[in-house]
Amino acid sequence: LLLLGIGLKNIRIIETHEDFSINIDILKKTIENDKTNTDNFPAIIIANAGTTNTGAIDDLIALHRIAKKNNAWLHIDAAYGGFARISKTSASELLADINFADSIALDAHKWLFVPFEAGIVLVKNRECLKHAFSEDAGYLVDTQSVSEHQLMVNFWEYSFPMSREFRGLKVWMLINAYGREGLSNLITKNILLVKYLSTRVEEHPDLELMSSSELSIVCFRWRDSDEFNNMIIEKIQKNQKYYVSRTKLKGRSTIRVCIVNLESDTDVIDGLIQEIENIGITLAI
């Protein structure tokens, strides 16, 4: 949004529900208030198909209807969670309406298991990109067409950079190696592992579940102070056997686990819980 020149003052941040998905009613009221009391109007609605913090998925069909009613562009940030559409879990159904987006952001290096970087943007009408980015320079004339009757696809006409790496190769190779079914199984396994981790957390007397999603992110904390939880996270990272990150939910420091590794299994989850338990007991002495 900053690159587009929209600026921070023109952004409306909408409150969320307890599950961290966007509050549709507040969004509607915010739009109506802007249209009635200011000169502002909704130009872009940004939905989340798997937030970075908790893996929350917004009501995509409701956001599509609001965007359509207000003639606004609907962009869906599916950078992390979008590939769960091919999973064999309830997440697939929650993402079924992703096709209503005008544009979608995906990161194959997050949940398609390819090396960094492999960012993807899908746009329903590619002419919108061409209209925004295409340049007509004299030195580009020879690159405009393959022949008199066949236009060449020039990707520099659809984004900022004129030169680029062949990022698509590693994505193409992975899809050919595993196929849709293979990738579906791997993503499904990650989601089921998080459900298993959530159960382990709920069963543990010293741990508190802060959020759980239909994707592969779970957030929880030791039933103690923020400082205590921060020390647990630091110890885990220092031990270098497992990697967890730190975030804040509902004003409290939280352990965040995101499973996007094709090698992870229940033994890894059990080991992580044991590691947290050992560190927590040691710190409490």
What would the pLDDT profile of 204-239 be if each residue is shown by its tens digit? 999 999 998 899 999 999 999 999 999 999 999 999
**Does 214 map to a domain?**
yes
Q: Cα–Cα distance between 40 and 246 in angstroms, integer?
A: 37
Between the two ends of the chain, the Cα-to-Cα distance in Å is: 49
Both 26 and 142 in a single domain? yes
Both 95 and 148 in a single domain? yes
Both 24 and 163 in a single domain? yes
Question: pLDDT tens-digit profile of 231-281?
Answer: 999 999 999 999 999 999 999 999 999 999 999 999 999 999 999 999 999
Domain span at 214: 180-284
Both 100 and 189 in a single domain? no
Q: What are phi and psi of 26, to 5 degrees?
A: -70, -35
Query: The whole model's pTM is what?
Result: 0.90
Both 201 and 279 in a single domain? yes
Q: Is 70 exceeded by the pLDDT of residue 151? A: no
Both 62 and 162 in a single domain? yes
Per-residue pLDDT at 37 = 87
Residue 257, Cβ neighbours under 10 Å: how many? Answer: 20
**Does 1 map to a domain?**
no
**Does 25 map to a domain?**
yes
Both 110 and 202 in a single domain? no
How many domains, in total, are found in the chain? 2
Both 215 and 257 in a single domain? yes
